[in-house]
Amino acid sequence: MDVLIGQLATGLSLGSILLLAALGLSLTFGQMGVINMAHGEFIMAGCYTAYVVQQVISSAGVSLLISLVVGFVVGGAMGALLEVTLIQRMYHRPLDTLLVTFGVGLVLQQIARDIFGAPAVNVIAPAWLSGGVEIFGAVVPKTRIFILVLAIACVAALATALKVSPMGRRIRAVVQNRDLAETSGISSRKTDITTFFIGSGLAAVAGVALTMIGSTSPTIGQSYLIDAFLVVVVGGLGQIKGTVIAAFSLGFLNSFIEYNTTASLAKVIVFVIIVIFLQARPQGLFTVRTRSLV
């Protein structure tokens, strides 16, 4: 029983990390269909933002809260810049976008390596996040709970923004029918840039949060990127609901398989399960029903 609860807690924590990393992608990949391989580097940008902010503001608690805001803006600005300079030229070539943004990712990684050096750097967690909380006999680190809370807050904020704000309505309108949205007077260009800003900003917020549970190196984004993509693929494009369920399912699956085998084998088994799952539901868990052929 203790083992089960321990695994549940690990799974929940892993799921919330996956969710946070994948949430931005569910917007840029899920809603706009852009495969942005530099998304991982936006996560990394968030990590380094937290590091830099902490160098300026030494109080760990204040710097963490400020980093979340600054990170969102930094990541968002990077994403918007990428959209304006490169991605907007390539909306009709999704696979080429993948390779181009991969190139961007390589460059960003090297920039980080040149500025901060290849060895990992650490961000100090504030005192109120040290230690753990006992839940049904299993000790869960407070940093993990912080990430879970942050993930839920981000999902709630994003869902509300998409649902009720005028900006959210514009985003949904452009995703659902670009031409009709344009004829209704919505600037699809501005909306695309906004969507990308939010998606990339969320990646950086994820990065800031990740500094609480591990150290930051230039390749940190890469290690989360593929998992984040898989979450969005399993969840189905275009719906946050799918991303949430997929993130926690994969989190639980991974932690249970990992407990019974090894970490490396668990990754492979989860991959095989995903391929088999896509046999049953090639479009992911939740799909927007459409009559389109492609």
Partner 1 sequence: MRAVLGRWQTWAGFGIAAVVLFGVAPVVLSDFRLSLLGKFLCFAIVAVGIGLAWGRGGMLVLGQGVFFGLGGYMMGMHLKIADAQIRGDDVPDFMQIAGVRELPGYWEPFASPAFTLLAIVLLPTAIAAALGFGVFKRRVKGAYFAILSQALAAALAILLVGQTSTGGSNGLNRFRTFFGFTLNDPANRRMLYFIAAGVLLLVVAVVRQLMQSRYGELLVAVRDGEERVRFLGYDPANIKVVAYTVAALFASIAGALFAPIVGFIAPSQVGILPSIAFLIGVAIGGRTTLLGPVLGAIGVAWAQTLFSERFPSEWTYAQGLLFIVVVGFFPAGLAGLGVFLKRRRKAKTEPPPEQATDSDPDTEKVGASS
When binding is defined by CB under 8 A, the residue of 152, 267, 273, 287 that contacts partner 1 is 267
- Per the listing, tokens 């839920």 go with 152
Asked whether position 260 contacts partner 1 by CB under 8 A, the answer is: no
Alpha carbon 133 to its chain centroid, in Å, reads: 26
* Interatomic CA distance for residues 231 and 274, integer angstroms: 10
* Interatomic CA distance for residues 283 and 209, integer angstroms: 30
Asked whether position 230 contacts partner 1 by CB under 8 A, the answer is: yes
The residue among 256, 264, 221 whose CA lies nearest residue 21 is 221
Identify which of residues 159 and 274 has a Cβ nearer to partner 1 in the complex: 274
Could you tell me which stretch among 135-143, 145-153, 158-166, 264-272 binds partner 1 (CB under 8 A)?
264-272
The residue among 71, 82, 117 whose CA lies nearest residue 211 is 71
Quote the least distance from Cβ 14 to partner 1, whole Å.
Answer: 15
Contact 129, 146 (CB under 8 A): yes
Q: Which residues, 25 to 64, sit near partner 1 by CB under 8 A?
A: 29, 33, 35
* Interatomic CA distance for residues 15 and 11, integer angstroms: 6
Asked whether position 109 contacts partner 1 by CB under 8 A, the answer is: yes
Asked whether position 263 contacts partner 1 by CB under 8 A, the answer is: yes
Identify which of residues 117 and 132 has a Cβ nearer to partner 1 in the complex: 117
Quote the least distance from Cβ 113 to partner 1, whole Å.
Answer: 7
Asked whether position 275 contacts partner 1 by CB under 8 A, the answer is: yes
